[in-house]
Amino acid sequence: MNLNYLNYLNIYSINTGNIIQKIEGANSIVIHCENSNGEELGIKIYKGEITRCARSWRREIKSLKFLNKNNFNKTVSLIDYDKPTYSILYKWVQSNSKFLSSYGKKCIVNSLVDLHNLYQKNPNFYYAIDSIIFLKDLKKQILTRSEIIFANKFIDKKTKQKLLDTTIVISNSKFTHEKLKINTYSFSDIGFHNLLIDNNMNPYFIDLEFFGKDSKVKLVADLFSHPLNSFSSLELHSIRHKLCLTDDETQQIIEIMPGIALKWAYISAKRLQRESDDNFDVNSSVLAQVLNYCSYSLFLLEINEFEKILTFNEFKYST
């Protein structure tokens, strides 16, 4: 066990012999362990630059407290936290993967409706990370990411040129509505990868550092575009009714989709940068994903009906 991990264990009075497993994700590490009473716990440690770790730590704690206070009981139970190490301690949830494929979708849809209803009662929380109020916000998010990617020496010129060409086309898109209505809460990164379902079929959503208020338009567009999305386009088309989307909001989804898809191209490219920096080797599957997102973005420019929007994964496997 690395000395750094020993420090985390000591903070929460966990013996080294009580480590069950270590789970490493893109943005955090979780130590699954037991305390002296035999209770299973999780210690979440944020990864990355210190300013990012601090922000994520603060946001996740505030999100968990806010949701718990407002009776949204579909998150893990926060037990303790430590500012010097930017870590949190929570009650472990043992997930049963057999419930995810069908019941998991129902849990996600129900949670979106619950969060929408919660917003109507109490809209007084922070904006979600990468929330969009004006369409210029989306363009700014894309520009910020592009500057980082174009400075990366590990990404080949052909990929950079594809990103640049797509960005120029998308940046010239015209929008009927320049402003989105903030009208719901969103986890921002929702999917099976951030959902646990216990043996009693109780759902628990995790990784809430991006949670906050956002637009239903942005939320639905992200569901279509997310690479780990498990919904079909037909299922997402039906969500518009559950979230009470207006005709104007449906039109806004059509208009914003190409930009959202392009942003995911840059998010994927950032992952390519991280893996290249670590391994000095270009990950071909991630590279393919970047190019697929560029093509997907241009495909969406030609769509003028909500029912014709495909998810990213449907588009990827159809080409």
Same domain, 181 and 224: yes
Q: What is the pLDDT of residue 279?
A: 52
Range of the domain at 188: 97-318
Q: What is the pLDDT of residue 274?
A: 56
Same domain, 184 and 39: no
CA separation (Å) from 166 to 17, 183, 242, 249? Answer: 53, 30, 33, 25
Q: What is the pLDDT of residue 7?
A: 86
Same domain, 33 and 101: no
The pair of three-digit structure tokens given for residue 11, joined into one six-digit string = 């903070």
Residues 276, 270: Cα–Cα separation, whole Å: 10
What pTM was estimated for this model as a whole? 0.90
Note down pLDDT in tens along the chain; length 319 residues.
344 778 899 999 999 889 999 998 888 999 999 999 999 999 999 988 999 999 999 999 999 999 999 999 999 999 999 999 999 999 999 999 888 877 999 999 999 999 999 999 999 999 999 899 988 889 889 988 888 888 877 788 888 999 999 999 998 887 777 899 999 999 998 889 999 999 999 999 999 999 999 999 999 999 999 999 889 999 999 998 999 999 999 999 999 999 999 999 999 988 765 554 555 455 788 889 999 999 999 999 999 999 999 999 999 999 7
Q: What is the pLDDT of residue 33?
A: 96
Same domain, 46 and 120: no
Q: Which of 91, 126, 143 is the last residue of a domain?
A: 91
**Sheet hosting strand 78-82, strand order edge to edge:** 19-24, 28-34, 40-46, 87-91, 78-82
Q: What is the CATH number of the domain that holds 114?
A: 3.90.1200.10
Q: What is the pLDDT of residue 275?
A: 52
DSSP state, residue 103 = I
Q: Which of 66, 91, 116 is the last residue of a domain?
A: 91
DSSP state, residue 43 = E
Question: Residue 290 burial by CB count (10 A; 0-12/13-18/19+): exposed, middle or buried?
Answer: buried
Q: What is the CATH number of the domain that holds 14?
A: 3.30.200.20
Residues 196, 287: Cα–Cα separation, whole Å: 30
Q: What is the pLDDT of residue 26?
A: 80
Same domain, 198 and 251: yes
Q: Which of 91, 110, 133 is the last residue of a domain?
A: 91
Give how many domains the chain has, as a whole number: 2
Buried (b) or exposed (e) across 264-277, using 16+ Cβ within 10 A? bbbbbbbbbbbbbe
Rg (CA), the chain: 20
Same domain, 117 and 252: yes
Q: What is the pLDDT of residue 3?
A: 45
Same domain, 32 and 178: no
Same domain, 157 and 236: yes
